[in-house]
Amino acid sequence: MSIEALDTTLGSSTSVLLDSTAFIAFHAAQDATDALARHVLSRIERADDPLRGFYCVVSVAELLVRPVCAGPREEMYMHAFLTSFPNLQALNVDFHVAHQAANLRAVRNVKTPDALILACGLLAGCEAIVGNDEAWVTRLKPLFPEFRWIYLPSYL
């Protein structure tokens, strides 16, 4: 597998939901999937590529923990990244998202943070989901075959 295979799976997608694990890989050079996450985000960043990225605000809570503990500089860096990266948009949790998340919890016993993240992508009309969580692919892909599920380790 490779970046070319990743692009083939993304196909003509124009909207991709990034799970917190994709951002963690992007920011962790020692992560084996770092280059793949960087590739996806570089495509999102480019003005000439139709691919646009989305993330749930729940991911903000997950992604800011370590930077907050590390200090103000690291926290400001992550905050700036999440709020100013080109063509990357935060999706808020509202009543409708929470209701969809409750359905996911009821049907598949998905943990609340994961259910909220996935519900945001569903309701925003994302076509693909990128992450490093194998459980998402094995447990959720059968429920939502309309998504292109990108499990980054499978492209190594």
- 64 inside domain: yes
| Degrees, nearest 5: CA angle 102-82-100 | 10
- 4 inside domain: no
Q: Is the alpha carbon torsion for 95, 66, 45, 133 positive or negative?
A: negative
Nearest to 75 by CA among 86, 60, 64: 64
Range of the domain at 60: 15-151
Report the C-alpha gap between 92 and 90 in whole angstroms: 6
* 3-class secondary-structure state, position 40: helix
Q: Are 117 and 17 in contact (CB under 8 A)?
A: yes
CATH number at residue 43: 3.40.50.1010
Number of domains forming the structure of the chain: 1
- 147 inside domain: yes
- 9 inside domain: no
Query: What pTM value is reported for the model?
Result: 0.93
Q: Are 142 and 31 in contact (CB under 8 A)?
A: no
Nearest to 92 by CA among 49, 121, 129: 121
In tens digits, the chain (156 residues) has pLDDT values of 589 999 999 999 999 999 999 999 999 878 789 999 999 999 999 999 999 999 999 999 999 999 999 999 999 999 999 999 999 999 999 999 999 999 999 988 889 999 999 999 999 999 999 999 888 888 888 888 888 999 999 998
